[in-house]
Amino acid sequence: MEIRATGYGHPDAVRLSEEVQQEYVRRYGDVDVTVMHPDHFEPPAGIFVVGYLDGEPVACGGWRAKEEDGAGVCRGDAELKRMYVAPSARGRGLARAVLRHLERAAVEAGRTRLILESGTEQPEALALYASEGYETITKFGVYKDHPQSICMGKSLVGAEV
């Protein structure tokens, strides 16, 4: 897979983001209402990538810098967003490759921890993150009070990424 930094507003990123939103509808009954804007993923405050197989966009993900909020989000945090692999390309390790690429980019940008919000209806995502060293953290964001929300984080300080 070739991973390209496209930005969040790129047509391939938009298409895959729309697909992941439909995945949320299937699993949770609605789209993710977290405010997202292409500017959030502009270096050095963030990055958004698309993974291509044979020239076709099949995977995506990004991170954006977060501000310390005194309620669990810490200085140096970056939030993972829109991690997704198209159904036709699943089971090949592409999500893991995108995740590791994003971790390296976060380290290069001086970020010290990656955090994310997922949910109970995404067991494959939760298993991936746990296998990569992510642990449950204090809930944050739009869904912090939602019972299906699960937040995880991984320190990038001294981590092999």
The average confidence (pLDDT) of the chain is: 95
What are the residue ranges spanned by the domains of the chain? 2-155
Q: What is the pLDDT of residue 159?
A: 67
| Residue 47: pLDDT over 90 | yes
Strands (E), the chain: 2-5, 46-53, 56-65, 77-85, 113-119, 135-136, 149-155
Q: What is the pLDDT of residue 160?
A: 66
Q: What is the pLDDT of residue 69?
A: 85
Per-residue pLDDT, averaged over 8-37, amounts to: 96
Task: Please tell us whether the domain made up of 2-155 is placed in CATH 3.30.750.24.
Answer: no
For the segment 115-158, what is each residue's pLDDT rounded down to a tens digit? 999 999 999 999 999 999 999 999 999 999 999 999 999 999 87
